[in-house]
Amino acid sequence: MMETLNYDFWKYFKEISNIPRRSGEESKIAKYIIDFAIKRNFKYYTDKYNNVVIWKEASEGLQDKEILGLQCHTDMICEKLINTEHDFSKDPLKLIVEGDFIKAVNTTLGADDGIGVAYILAILDSKEIKHPKLECIFTTEEETTMNGAMGLDASILQSKRIISFDNDNEEEMWISSATAKEWTSTIKEPQIDLNPEEFTTFCLNLDKFKGGHSGIDIGDVTRGNPIKIIAELLNCFSDVYISDFEGGSKVNIIPRDCKIIFSINNNELSKVSVLENEISRIKNMYQTADISLNKINNVQKSYSKQLSENLLKFINSFQNGAIVKDEYGNVILSGNFGAVKKENEVMNLLYSIRYNSSKLGLKLENKIESDMEHYNIEAKNHGNILGYEQEENSQLIECCEKIYYKCFNKKIKKVKVQACLECGYFSNKIPNLQYVAIAPNIYNAHSPDERMSIKSANKMWNFIIEILENIN
């Protein structure tokens, strides 16, 4: 049977897809939600961060049940394919349906967390769905700074149990989130002159890697990291002089592409064949990737041998991908080298780690900062995102487990996720918070290949209604 877009939440998903909502630019989506609340005479709250909270009274007969929080974030990651003309500050997303999937043309879909926004708006608008009193929390800047969750006034919150829709797997219930440490660093010095008669210059370009979400997809070894791969490939040369180096986009996105322009001394030209063999090996490992090595006209300016060496050795020393897993196969320590960006004569580096174990995380932090000092990498700024832990058998978790089993005759998997959710900040504001995250199947979030299963979105909608009507 062909799945349809006839459920009420699809109307809202389409409407919010017309509203630009880049992380940090949520004023338009906030206005849309506020207007929605005013039109329906709901009590609401908003603040300078563009957070919005809406309260809806309990259905008849459910007034005695404890208030329930429903939570999502309104911002989205804005990524597009190279040469795609799309302005995320003003252009609507172009939605298309391909089989069971809804996606956007050449851009991210924003199902992370647009599906949460759509679900909550449809619940608020419904006169048929039975539910306890609801506190619906729409936060901002989740994809970047977490400023929305950090800045939200705790005194206005009433719920001590919250269901979030910031997830991407219908078979999983996320019960904790990782702590993250993010660095923005620089390495800089004036470029030097190279004698074109002594050096040969190449452009090494890696493109069309899978990319993805640095928390959710980090355990998938098939994605690769082109920034790390480039640094490893150039290990075959004794001396490398970097002229340009660009790759990735954001600290929390697995890179899809990377390009480096470098020169080698002519006495090392015989090693180019070694590089070409390594490129062939990498192509076999990553079938979707497009990798090219081309000789170009000699570049007159380059970074020094020492700076080039420091940069490549630092990237090589950085532990990327899934580093440690627990006994259930959950990644509990990971790293992502997110981007290298050259601005004038400064190299900007963006990288991060995530951990569900403080002991493991702090040890890795210390190693990275020691390597930064050793290779003269200057920390421009860094940020921390709070993680969240709770008892695996909280009342909310047990209730959602039972209802899931009743609906689908199978157990939902409880996951300690590497993604950074806002529950770390809510747990600081709400003593004894109970928090879970559920959502439909979303694939390749944070990349232009992002798509969401229509069947799964409909399935989870019915699961959510069951929770609302039957929660303890």
- DSSP per residue over 125-194, as a string? H-SS---S-EEEEEE--TTTT-HHHHHS-GGG---SEEEE---S-TTEEEEEE-EEEEEEEEEE---EE-
Amino acid at position 73, single letter: H
The helix/strand/coil state of 436 is strand
| Tokens standing for residue 196 | 């074109």
**Residue 50 pLDDT exceeds 50:** yes
Q: Within 10 A of 339 (CB to CB), how many other CB atoms are there? A: 20
Q: What is the mean pLDDT of residues 96-123?
A: 97
CA distance 271 to 236: 7
**Beta bridge mates, 333:** 324, 355
- Tokens 């109307």 sit on residue: 11
The pLDDT value recorded for residue 257 is 97
CA distance 22 to 365: 30
CA distance 338 to 79: 14
Confidence of residue 247 (pLDDT cuts 50, 70, 90): very high
14 touches 102 (CB < 8 A): no
CA distance 416 to 410: 19
Give the mean pLDDT of the chain.
94
* % pLDDT > 70, the chain: 100
**Residue 344 pLDDT exceeds 90:** no
DSSP 430: S
Q: CB-based contacts of 257: which residues, under 8 Å, 6+ apart? A: 82, 205, 206, 207, 208, 209, 226, 247, 248
Confidence of residue 458 (pLDDT cuts 50, 70, 90): very high
The helix/strand/coil state of 44 is strand
CA distance 343 to 201: 20
| Cα of 3 vs its chain's centroid, Å | 28
Amino acid at position 31, single letter: K
Higher pLDDT: 418 or 62? It is: 62
Q: Within 10 A of 72 (CB to CB), how many other CB atoms are there? A: 26
**Residue 43 pLDDT exceeds 70:** yes
CA distance 126 to 32: 18
Confidence of residue 341 (pLDDT cuts 50, 70, 90): very high
**Residue 381 pLDDT exceeds 80:** no
Higher pLDDT: 346 or 34? It is: 34
- Tokens 């747990």 sit on residue: 427
Give this prediction's pTM.
Answer: 0.75
Q: Within 10 A of 225 (CB to CB), how many other CB atoms are there? A: 28
Q: Within 10 A of 31 (CB to CB), how many other CB atoms are there? A: 14
The number of CA neighbours under 13 Å toward the Cβ of 150 is: 12
389 touches 177 (CB < 8 A): no
210 touches 444 (CB < 8 A): yes
CA distance 226 to 221: 12
CA angle, corner 113, sides to 93 and 161, nearest 5? Answer: 160
Amino acid at position 74, single letter: T
Q: CB-based contacts of 386: which residues, under 8 Å, 6+ apart? A: 146, 179, 424, 425, 427, 428
CATH number for the domain formed by residue range(s) 181-385 = 3.30.70.360
Amino acid at position 439, single letter: A
The pLDDT value recorded for residue 391 is 74
Q: What is the mean pLDDT of residues 439-459?
A: 95
The pLDDT value recorded for residue 1 is 45
Q: What is the mean pLDDT of residues 265-287?
A: 96
Name the CATH superfamily, with its identifier, for domain 8-178+387-470.
Answer: Zn peptidases (3.40.630.10)
Does residue 166 have a cis peptide bond before it, meaning omega lies within 30 degrees of 0?
no
Q: Where exactly are the structural domains of the chain? A: 8-178+387-470, 181-385
CA distance 391 to 379: 36
Higher pLDDT: 216 or 185? It is: 185
Q: What is the mean pLDDT of residues 97-122?
A: 97
* % pLDDT > 90, the chain: 85
76 touches 112 (CB < 8 A): yes
- Look at strands 68-73 and 52-56 and give their pairing: unpaired
The pLDDT value recorded for residue 2 is 55
CA distance 251 to 341: 11
Integer CA distances (angstroms), 207 to 229, 287, 443, in order: 12, 11, 20
